[in-house]
Amino acid sequence: MKNIVVVGSQWGDEGKGKIVDWLSEQADVVIRFQGGHNAGHTLVINGVTYKLRLLPSGIVRKDKISIIGNGVVIDPWALIEEINEIKSKGVKVDIDNFIISEAANLILPFHKEMDEIREDTAGKSKIGTTRRGIGPAYEDKVGRRSIRVMDLRSEKNLDKRLDSVLIHHNAIRKGLGKKIFEKKKLKDDLLKIAPEILKFSQPVWLKIDEFKKKKKRILFEGAQGILLDVDHGTYPFVTSSNTVASSAATGSGCGPNTINYVLGITKAYTTRVGEGPFPTELQNEVGELLGTRGKEFGTVTSRKRRCGWFDGVLVRQTIKISGINGIALTKLDVLDELDEIKMCISYELNGKKIDYLPAAVEDQLKIKPVYKTFKGWKQKTNGIKNINELPEKAKDYIYAIEDFIGAKISSISTSPEREDTILIENPFEI
C-alpha cells in the first residue's frame, strides 16, 4: 500500500484542500503533521462547503481516521470550536475517527498576544503572520518550555509547566511595557477544556506503526507551502515550521521509508499572502484579474492574496528540496481570459543571470524575473475532465511547465469542484 505526502510547492493557497479531499477518499488514514490553525483548506462536497483549519481534510469522509500529529501546534479552544462547527454540518468526530498526538504542543492566549504585539511593533519589518500565536508557540517548543497535550493530565504538572513558560513570557511583556499575564485563570480554563482534548489523545507514532502493519493507506496532509518553510523558504518571511515533505515523518512519528510518493500542489500562476519577496508579482490589471477570477482571498484570514505569473524557477527548486514525484496543477481555468501568459524561467541579479532563488532576503528582493511568453488560449477550460479536450495553447503551456520544472504533472484542476479534474496518474495506483 502506498503512503502519500501532499505539500504545497509555492507559498501555500495552491488548492491542497480539493486534492487532499480527492485522495482522502482512497486513503484509510489522513494525518496533519505541521502548522496550526493558520492553515485553511476549503472543501466543496455535494454542494456543502467545509472550511478546515486544524482538522485533517479526511474528517469529512466516512470510515476514515484523522490524526493531528506531534508536529502541529494546537489552540485547544479553536480546535473544539472547529469540531463543533463541523459536527453541526453532520460530520462525525469522535474517538473512533479522530486522534490527537499526546506530544503535540499547545497554543495559549499569551502566544496570540505576543504574535500581535510583535507584528504591531515591527512596522515595515512585519512578517505578515495570521496573528494566531503559531510562531510564539513553536518558539516555546524549541525552548523546551511549552505546554503539551499530555501536560493536561495532571494539575500539579500543569501548574509547574505554566510557571516555567510564564517566567519567560512575562519578562518579555514587562520589557515591552505590557501587562503581566496571570496564571490562575489560564490554568482553570485549561483544566476545564482538558477532558475534551485528552479523550482524543494517543501516542500517534504507535498508531502509525499499527496502521502500517495492517497495510492501511496513509495520506500526510501538509499546510502552507514549501516557500514558507522555516529553513528553505523566503526567510524571515516564512512560517515557523518545516513544510517540506520530509517533515511528515518527523511531525507524525514514523520513518522516512513510510513515505512512498510526494505530491506537490502547484497553482498555474503564483500567489502569496503577507509580506516578503515575490519575484513575479503583478501590481497591475493582470494581477487584479487573476485575483478576481481566482477568488484569491485567504480561507483563514480573508486577506487579499498577491498575484503573479507562474515562477518555474521557484517550483523547480521546491521540487528538488522536497523530493516531489508529481505535480497537481490547479486553477488552470483562471487563465482562460488572458491574451498572453508568462512563465518565469530565470532571474537577473546585479546584471547576472541565475537559475535559482538565492538564500539572502536582500538578494531575493532585488532579483528580476526573466519570462517566456505564451499565447493565451482565450477559451473556456472550466469543468474539462479530459486533457484531449483542452485548447491546444493550454496544452502547450502545461507541457512547457512540466518540461521546465522536471516533474510529471499527474493531474490538472479546472474548477474548485472535486469532479472537475483531469487525472493523468493516480499516486495511490502507481
Residues noted as catalytic: 13, 41
Nearest CA to 310 out of 341, 275, 276, 347 is that of: 341
* Alpha-carbon dihedral sign for residues 28, 29, 30, 33: negative
Provide the 3-class DSSP secondary structure of residue 141.
helix
**Dmax over Cα atoms in the chain, in whole Å?**
68
Provide the CB-side half-sphere exposure for 109 (13 A, CA): 11
* Number of CB atoms found within 10 A of residue 112's CB: 18
Element housing 41 (H / E): strand 41-45
Q: Is 266 helix (H, G, I), strand (E, B) or coil?
A: strand
Residue pair 60/43 in contact by the 8 Å Cβ criterion = yes
Backbone angles phi, psi at 222, to 5 degrees: -80, 160
All three cell numbers of 204, joined, read: 500517534
- 144's grid cell: 523546551
DSSP assigned state of 423: E
Which position has the grid cell 493530565? 153
Tell me if 280 sits within 8 A of 344, measured CB to CB.
Answer: yes
| Rg, the chain, Cα only | 22
The residue type at 368? K
